[in-house]
Amino acid sequence: MTDPLFKRVALIGIGLIGSSLAHNIRAHKLAGHIAISTRRSETLARAEELGLGDSYHLEAAEAVKDADLVILCVPVGSCGAVTKEIALALMAGAIVSDVGSVKGSVIQQMRPHLPDSVHFVPAHPIAGTEQSGPDAGFLELFENRWCILTPVEGTDPEATERLRRFWEACGSTVETMTAEHHDLVLAIVSHVPHLIAYNIVGTAADLETVTQQEVVKFSASGFRDFTRIAASDPTMWRDVFLTNRDAVLEMLARFSEDLASLQRAIRWGDGDALFDLFTRTRAIRRGIVEAGQDTAKPDFGRDHTRAPAGKS
């Protein structure tokens, strides 16, 4: 039997990502010991009930003791405070990483607290669902998904390589890029889409002319896709927008400009402008399906035989 990749992995935070990591570490034997820490005692108790780890700690500093891999699985806005808490307890030579959706801010928050003796390799698994908490995790979450590493200048390449092997063992394909570029890419493929999904769901809820009941009832005509995204974890997403502010505002400005131009096309009956855009966007969908990033099945392969509202 080969030795596991790490002796002890500390997972700080045990939500969707943390618990999915725990399943992977266990199933693929990536560590001799899984130490789990989370601030809320009920969540920690639930993680223990689910048998996600080998030891459970309310104090993050206890979990990281003797850990050769420490992964912060907390909302981006908490990374600085958690790093401060664990800094003195970190083992020399340990790899410290995270799973945050924003990388520039995470580096800014964490780096000043970290001792020189540890290797800091920020990471972002591009994987998730709209569900959260320790019960939401599952083994296949990272399978065939991208994980982006954004090592900072001067990082030991061997530490980056070990973390790459860890994520590959979880089923991910690993790519490295700068934190700045990561934050721009994610702003357009993830952060702004989430923001406008949250926004349209809010707009729909506030109407006087159409009732919320009608919105729910007839949501299958497009709206319900947005509500899935708009059901994502509120704390996580608040932090994403607060910490990736510049890139989000930049992409949002472009989105709003483009939308104003579409609005003008509708007002003035410019059907050609609409048709041109609608044809162009169809090609991008094709690219995504061909790249294996989404199912080719119509309507995401949703079951078309469930009962709708009011038919009980």
Ranges within 212-231 binding a copy of itself (CB under 8 A): 212, 214-231
Strands (E), the chain: 6-12, 31-37, 55-57, 69-72, 95-98, 119-120, 123-125, 146-149, 173-176
288: contact with a copy of itself by CB under 8 A: yes
Closest separation in Å from C-beta 38 to a copy of itself: 20
Measured from the CB atom, the residue of 93 and 275 that comes closer to a copy of itself is 275
169: contact with a copy of itself by CB under 8 A: no
Closest separation in Å from C-beta 57 to a copy of itself: 27
- 168 and 203 Cβ atoms separated by less than 8 Å: no
Closest separation in Å from C-beta 32 to a copy of itself: 27
64: contact with a copy of itself by CB under 8 A: no
Closest separation in Å from C-beta 93 to a copy of itself: 32
Three-state SS for 158? Answer: helix
Phi, psi of 10 (to 5 degrees): -105, 125
Opening angle at CA 258, ends 254 and 261, nearest 5: 145
Buried b or exposed e, range 204-242, using 16+ CB within 10 angstroms:
beeeeeeeeeebeeebeeebeebbebbebbeebbebbbe
Contacts 24+ apart (CB under 8 A), 38-42: 38/12, 38/13, 38/14
Closest separation in Å from C-beta 177 to a copy of itself: 9
Measured from the CB atom, the residue of 129 and 176 that comes closer to a copy of itself is 129
Phi, psi of 143 (to 5 degrees): -65, 125
Nearest Cα residue to 2 out of 26, 29, 21 = 29
Measured from the CB atom, the residue of 34 and 197 that comes closer to a copy of itself is 197
Size of the site for a copy of itself (CB under 8 A): 118
- Rounded to whole angstroms, the Cα distance separating 308 from 312 reads 8
Interface pick for a copy of itself out of 42, 92, 153, 203 (rule CB under 8 A): 203
Task: For residue 102, give Cα distances in angstroms to 3, 10, 72, 134, 213.
Answer: 33, 21, 13, 22, 36
Ranges within 108-167 binding a copy of itself (CB under 8 A): 126-131, 136, 138, 140-141, 143-146
- Rounded to whole angstroms, the Cα distance separating 54 from 23 reads 12
51: contact with a copy of itself by CB under 8 A: no
Measured from the CB atom, the residue of 31 and 248 that comes closer to a copy of itself is 248
Measured from the CB atom, the residue of 55 and 173 that comes closer to a copy of itself is 173
178: contact with a copy of itself by CB under 8 A: no
Ranges within 8-47 binding a copy of itself (CB under 8 A): none
81: contact with a copy of itself by CB under 8 A: no
Site track for a copy of itself across 238-257, x = CB under 8 A = xx-xx--x--xx-xx-xxx-
Measured from the CB atom, the residue of 87 and 169 that comes closer to a copy of itself is 169
Site track for a copy of itself across 257-276, x = CB under 8 A = -xxx-xx--xx-x-x--xx-
